[in-house]
Amino acid sequence: MSTTDTDTNAETVLYASPAAASGPKWVETPVAYDGILLAGFGGPEGQDDVIPFLRNVTRGRGIPDERLEEVAHHYRHFGGVSPINQHNRELKAALEEEIAKRGLNLPVYWGNRNWEPYLEEAVTEAAEAGDTTLIAIATSAYSSFSSCRQYREDYARVLEATGLGETVTIDKVRQFFDHPGFVTTFVRGVTDAVSAFVAKGIAPEKIRVLFSTHSIPTADAERSGPRDVDFGEGGAYAAQHKAVAAFVMAEVAAAVADVEWELVYQSRSGPPTQPWLEPDVNDVIAELPGRGAEAVVIVPLGFVSDHMEVLWDLDTEAMEAAEEAGIKAVRTPTPGIDPAYVSGLIDLVEERLKGTPKAERPSLTDLGPWYDVCRPGCCENIRAGFKPVAAGLRP
């Protein structure tokens, strides 16, 4: 990266611990956190929840219920229940087990952005228990407005709304897209899938690996990551995914065979006139037979668990696309509560507890280790403008 490790004109970071308040890229001073804030997206847990949930997701955009119902059928297909809340219950329990195993005294408070339990409840519960120095883990590994900055806006909004901004601080772990605990699960899944196809007599040159992630508006992608680094087309968001995919496929090549791969996108929403990241996973699958492919490995690289975008967009629509194309398909697992992933998340917390120097932090790509304190202008939402954020330098 071209950025330096210090900023001479850094502004104070809102709602931060003293060690992070001046905005160092990597906080190398130990911080005595007394609680973990597990921040999730949230999801409906019944048919009556679906439209209110989608109103929360799209608040401020003036989308009528008739249009929301077009998306609601994904949830209604599964009884109106998103698996994401149950996953976060399981993840919270797994984190607590790992914390106890390490002898750490850190309660985990779980709150969502868009559905119960809300972040306001989690932060209030922590404060009432006397836990006021929090380290946040958002259930998203990459850098973009929706996967990082919007969570940081939520932290600031909640502290303001609850009146706890004078007593509670919220830092965040670094974006963990290239942490070994996260990446290991994908290496294992892709290696197993390619090996299984080869064992069935499919030649490696007939196999394709598609790394799929959530599409986002092209303008948001271009503004992902710090403003003083050129990450190329798609900004830091695309660059991070491509770097992780390249690492995974190098491991697969060493273990099994060299296989062609590409990064694809899914779950596009918004008006057709607005450019979003492409190509779409289903469009690419349809083209694979013409490229000589007989089998496809679909990797949910942008997702930490089997939530609706995985169950519907990949397990339903992408599998249907593969069947229509006449090729074999398999979808690899998400990290979920894999022990390596859970352990890796607590490793990230311990980095900040101990003030681990940047040079000693594990990362599997040249882009990492990512910043502890987000840089000015990072992941701007050009439609809504800059809002107050925690865990990052202003704006």
Residue with tokens 């883990």: 137
- Total domain count, the chain: 2
Quick one: 143 and 193 in the same domain? Answer: no
Quick one: 172 and 186 in the same domain? Answer: no
In a domain, 8, yes or no: no
Quick one: 81 and 135 in the same domain? Answer: yes
What one-letter code names the amino acid at 204? P
DSSP letters spanning 218-255: HHHHHT-S-TTS---TTHHHHHHHHHHHHHHHHHHHHH
Torsion of CA 49, 50, 56, 58, to 10 degrees: -170
Quick one: 29 and 172 in the same domain? Answer: yes
Known binding-site residues for Fe(2+) equal 214, 309
Known binding-site residues equal 82, 151, 214, 309
Element containing residue 95 per DSSP (H, E): helix 84-101
Contact present, 321 and 282 (Cβ < 8 Å):
yes
Q: What is the reported pLDDT for 11?
A: 59
Closest CA to 118 of 143, 75, 85, 80: 85
User: Residue 351: helix, strand or coil by DSSP?
Assistant: helix
E strand residue ranges, 271-381:
295-299, 328-331
Closest CA to 260 of 292, 303, 218: 292
Quick one: 303 and 206 in the same domain? Answer: yes
In a domain, 1, yes or no: no
Q: Which domain-ending residue is among 331, 359, 379?
A: 331
Can you read off the two tokens belonging to residue 391? 């865990």
Known binding-site residues for Fe-coproporphyrin III equal 82, 151
Quick one: 127 and 91 in the same domain? Answer: yes
In a domain, 2, yes or no: no
State the Cα–Cα distance between residues 329 and 23, nearest whole angstrom: 46
Burial of 194 (0-12, 13-18, 19+ CB in 10 A): buried
Q: What is the reported pLDDT for 373?
A: 98
State the Cα–Cα distance between residues 36 and 230, nearest whole angstrom: 33
Q: What is the largest CA-CA distance in the chain?
A: 64
Q: What is the mean pLDDT of each run of 10 residues along the chain (395 residues)?
A: 40 92 97 98 96 92 87 92 96 98 98 97 98 98 97 98 97 98 98 98 98 97 96 98 98 98 94 94 98 98 96 97 98 98 98 98 98 96 92 94
Which neighbouring-strand residues pair with 349? none
In a domain, 5, yes or no: no
CATH number of the domain that residue 299 is part of: 3.40.50.1400
Quick one: 159 and 50 in the same domain? Answer: yes
Give the residue numbers spanning the domain of 289.
Answer: 180-331
Quick one: 202 and 290 in the same domain? Answer: yes
Which neighbouring-strand residues pair with 34? none
E strand residue ranges, 167-245:
169-172, 207-214
